[in-house]
Amino acid sequence: MARIDASNRNSAETMDMFQPARLQEPTGEAANGDVAQPPEPLGDVRFAPGPVLIACASQTGVAEDLAAATHEQLRAAGIASRVMDFEALDRPTLEAARQVLFLASTTYDGDPPDMAETFSREAMAQPASLAHLHYGLLALGDRGYGDFCAFGRALDVWLRASGAQPWFPRIEVDDEDAAALERWHAQVAALAAAVAA
């Protein structure tokens, strides 16, 4: 039986923190995100029945490839999903979605990929109404650059400020780190487990 943990422990905190301008600046959220994130057991949290949206913001193709791999992983588990890039993503799409896996890279100087520039500037300018939405987020970056995973972190802050409920803490990937990617696929597998059974 599919079951979702509807708690959103951090929503009040992130509402206070939400400021669109923080995309360009390291924040308390970003600083906390710098701490290595231990794997988070999902318990009996699972995908709900219905399709999963895989939303991808990529500049050079890494997140795009991972989105395709995630789509294939879900297909193999018998779960319907579709991949949409941030060029096509808007607030109405998210307001209609129930469960989303986000893969979001950072480029330039802590900026969103070109395909996510409009979404970042317009959709993320204010919190949306996403209390119905559960999500997982993979943030891709490289600590060799100044503002590690800035867009993924800003997206996470905005989603929480919008009332969306994370299934697990944001996973950050430093330069395609294999352990972090393994953790992502393990979290997706855990979400899919009971649905596929």
DSSP per residue over 118-160, as a string? Answer: HHHHTGGGS----TT-EEEEEEEE-TTSSSTTHHHHHHHHHHH
Residues 6+ apart with CB under 8 A from 106: 112, 113, 139, 140, 141, 145, 147, 148, 149, 150, 151, 152
Short-list 50, 64, 36, 67, CA closest to 136? 67
Instruction: Rank residues 58 and 81 by Cβ distance to ligand FMN and give the closer one.
Output: 58
CB atoms within 10 A of CB 49: 12
Q: Which of residues 160-189 bind ligand FMN (CB under 6 A)?
A: 176
Q: Which stretch binds ligand FMN (CB under 6 A): 24-32, 91-99, 145-153, 177-185?
A: 145-153
Q: Is 89 in the site for ligand FMN (CB under 6 A)?
A: no
Would you say 110 or 136 has its CB closer to ligand FMN? Answer: 110
Nearer to ligand FMN, 127 or 152 (CB): 152
| Residue 108 binds ligand FMN, judged by CB under 6 A | yes
105 binding ligand FMN? (CB under 6 A) = yes
Task: Tell whether residue 73 is a contact of ligand FMN (CB under 6 A).
Answer: no
Sites for ligand FMN among residues 28-57 (CB under 6 A):
none
| 136 binds ligand FMN per the rule CB under 6 A | no
Query: For residues 2-31, which are near ligand FMN according to CB under 6 A?
Result: none
DSSP β-ladder status, 99-105 and 171-174: unpaired
Token representation of residue 12 = 């009040």
Residue 145 binding ligand FMN, by CB under 6 A: yes
Residue 147 engages ligand FMN in binding (rule: CB under 6 A): yes
Residue 127 makes contact with ligand FMN by CB under 6 A = no
Q: Which of 108, 100, 104, 130 is nearest to 24 (CA)?
A: 108
Interface with ligand FMN: number of residues (CB under 6 A): 23
| Cα–Cα distance for residue pair 63/45, rounded to 1 Å | 25
Q: Give the interface with ligand FMN as residue ranges (CB under 6 A).
A: 58-63, 105-110, 113, 140-142, 145-150, 176
